[in-house]
Structure 1
Amino acid sequence: MRAHPVRRTALTCAATVTVTVLALSLKPHHQPVGTLPPTTAPAPSSSAGAGGASSGVRTVTGPTVQTRYGPVQVELTLDGSRITAARAVQSPGGDPRSRQINASAVPALIKETVQAQSAHLDTVSGATYTSEGYIGSLQSALDQARA
């Protein structure tokens, strides 16, 4: 009768060790914030116009998206159809916690924008509202640029 609880304890310990090892072996999706490229871009040499989506360097600004914690707005710099830079013109910052969260979330979103060359981004954990607002403004800016 006593062998059964011991067996259960051994299995529980083995499962705990397995889960811990698996959790520790996971790699973060995003690289550390310290490795982010600069978020400013050279001044655009032309604006979007008769040349269409594939001509010259230009800047396109998406609409302001209101989130639960404040507004988010994205500005893109494109060279032809390639995104060369992105920046958050506005991001939630009405309280210290929002400023803290967005100090790392916004640079991660910017870096992912330039890498992905689209609005198909992962949301940043802990900054879901900012991520969703950013992606919405980004998609609108891309739509404007490609119109």
Structure 2
Amino acid sequence: MRRISLWLFSTVAALVLLFSYRTSTGDAAPATPVAAAAPVVPTTAPAPEPSGTSSASGSGASKTYTGSVAQTQWGPVQVAITVVNGKITDVQVPVYPNGNHRDEEINARALPVLTQETLAAQNAAIDTVSGATVTTNGYLESLQAALDAAHLS
């Protein structure tokens, strides 16, 4: 009888703990432009075509290519690259998931790493950021669209 009582109490306690666990999916808000993690690229519509051209002083034309919006489990991700003479000189992430504190925390750490790795690799062959797998996958999808629009590998 004592064993049965202990088993019943343990089962009820486990069920209470399981059902009281809160996830972050219920309070997610729509994604907004990046302000702190990366500079914002002004674009009118997400398209994998050049979004603007300006001349860099003496070094050739500078063009910005905006990748398509990648829809992820936690929200949309969009990448924009600036190319000068066939080389990526700047990477921005105008849209990323930041609907709650945890998203902001993860992406504030992950987006600078992803942009620096992109600048170093000059392509989409970069490592996934641990703890930000969903954002990284969306980032890579949008980055590849921007690279394709720029006719880079």
TM-score w.r.t. the length of structure 1 is 0.64
Aligned residue among 71, 75, 86 for 2:91: 86
Distance 1:91 1:44, change over 3 A: same
Counterpart residue number, 1:17: none
Say yes or no: does 1:97 pair with 2:102. yes
Number of corresponding residues: 101
Identical-pair percentage: 46
Alignment of 1:63-78 (within 5 A): 63-78=68-83
Equivalent pair of 1:40/1:85 in contact (CA under 8 Å): no
> Aligned letter for 1:70?
G
1:123 is the counterpart of 2:128: yes
Unaligned runs of 5+ residues in structure 2 are 1-36, 41-51
SS at match of 1:146: coil
Q: Which residue of 1 aligns with 2:54?
A: 45
Structure 1 residue runs without a partner (length 5+)? 1-37, 47-54
Is the 8 Å Cα contact of residues 38 and 111 (structure 2) preserved in structure 1? no
Show structure 1 runs of 4+ deviating over 6 A: none
2:17 aligned residue: none
